[in-house]
Amino acid sequence: MKKILALVSVLMIAALLGGCITTGSNNQQTVSSSGTAVLKVTPDEADVIIAVETLEKSADDSKNKNAEIVDKVYAALYKINIPRDSIKTENFNIYEEYDWTIAGQQKSKGFRTSHTLRVTATDFALVGKIVDAAVDAGATRIQGVEFDLSDAQKASLKKQALAEASKDAREKAEAIASGLNAELGKIVSVSDTSYDYTPYPYLRESMAADMAKAEFATEISPQELEVRANVQVVFEIE
């Protein structure tokens, strides 16, 4: 009876730790354990999404007017030391816009050109200046500001998160084995069940528009991001 109670206790511990005990085809018992890691990290990049839109009677006039404003935005960004390779076109579109307010009729309002730029900065002191410079140069709106991780930091943090999740899985498996008066054997299998993070959207379009209209310099500071990793590991029990 005591052995049964002890086994039940170990199985309950295994369930709480996110593990399970199984017996393979060769009667080798294994323990499966899941490990999790959550890292709180400071972003090292910020993206400002700038939209320039123009509506004119002809497609050419709309395109040319839009290009004129975009050139002014570029010039304004250069003045605050934003390099050319940090400014990228995210979307460009020209289409005819219609007025549907009269039932059963469509009336052309003209041709709308939409040019969206994504400006990346690693110096967060520049983020507010980018917003101000773009709006002052004629940008229609600021669609938002996102704080993100550079490719180098993503790679480094992924390794760190997976390593910590693997350590967590081993510690859980060791706790389960200890309850069975056993020891962990070799690793049978390991799977990376998930790795993810979400860029932090500091500003959405409505907030950014309000700030851009303000008569003072825009100041923007980042918050921490969460990087998560999960692994599943199966160990033999000796």
Question: What mean pLDDT, rounded, does the chain reach?
Answer: 83
What is residue 5's predicted lDDT score, i.e. its pLDDT? 42
Residue 66 vs residues 50, 94, 130: alpha-carbon distances, Å:
13, 10, 19
pLDDT, tens digit (0-9, with 9 covering 90-100), for 157-196: 999 999 999 999 999 999 998 888 988 999 999 998 787 8
pLDDT, tens digit (0-9, with 9 covering 90-100), for 113-131: 999 999 999 998 898 899 9
pLDDT, tens digit (0-9, with 9 covering 90-100), for 69-114: 999 999 999 999 999 999 999 999 999 999 877 777 788 999 999 9
Q: Which residue has the higher pLDDT, 180 or 203?
A: 180
What is residue 164's predicted lDDT score, i.e. its pLDDT? 94
Dist CA 183 CA 86 (whole Å): 54
Tell me the domains of the chain and their CATH numbers. Answer: 23-42+156-200+222-238 (3.30.110.170), 45-148 (3.30.70.2970)
For residue 13, pLDDT beyond 70: no
The strand ranges marked E within 29-78 are 29-41, 45-56
Cβ of 190: how many Cβ atoms within 10 Å?
Answer: 14
